[in-house]
Amino acid sequence: MEHIFDDAYFMRKALQEAEIAFDKGEIPVGAVIVIDDKIIARGHNLTETLNDVTAHAEMQSITAAANFLGGKYLQQCTLYVTLEPCQMCAGALYWSQISKIVFGARDMERGCINLKTKLHPKTKIEGGVLAKEASELLKRFFIMKRNLN
């Protein structure tokens, strides 16, 4: 019997990346990029580790996917990310021509939807997949950070 992968399966993989970021003291956002039900790239926030404001999970996974595919366009690919992309990441995703973005938790303050960031006309976006789990991880991280300071 053939196993069918669904959005929740791949979002769990992105959540695993977010947990890695959490363990490194990074804001826990994780991402995976999938083509034909195969994960071709993984990433998590590395802004503190690399001292680089652009080292978001999406940016790490976009670079890894482009390297895997041998080209800059991510057509027929889906990004699964635990938090709604920010403007910077949405801009990079626009230029990558990614086919679909699936995110977990909304970012009402900095997310691309409320900020009306333009995505590529062929890019579909869907939110709320395992949003509770993604939100809880972020809340746990910020509670821990506040208690350390």
114's CB contacts (< 8 A; 6+ apart) are 107, 108
Residue 118's CATH number: 3.40.140.10
**Structural domain count, the chain:** 1
**Which are the catalytic amino acids?**
58
Does residue 148 form part of some domain?
A: no
Indicate the annotated binding residues for Zn(2+): 56, 86, 89
List, for residues 107-128, the tens digit of each pLDDT value. 999 999 999 999 999 999 999 9
Does residue 122 form part of some domain?
A: yes
Q: How confident is the model at residue 2 (pLDDT cuts 50, 70, 90)?
A: low
List, for residues 80-100, the tens digit of each pLDDT value. 999 999 999 999 999 999 999
Measured CA to CA, the distance from residue 56 to residue 75 in angstroms comes to: 21
Residue range(s) defining the domain that contains residue 86: 7-140
Indicate the annotated binding residues: 56, 86, 89
The model carries a pTM of: 0.95
Q: How confident is the model at residue 149 (pLDDT cuts 50, 70, 90)?
A: low
Does residue 149 form part of some domain?
A: no
- CA dist 34 to 7, 42, 67, Å? 10, 9, 14
Give yes or no for a contact between 123 and 98, defined as CB atoms under 8 angstroms apart: yes
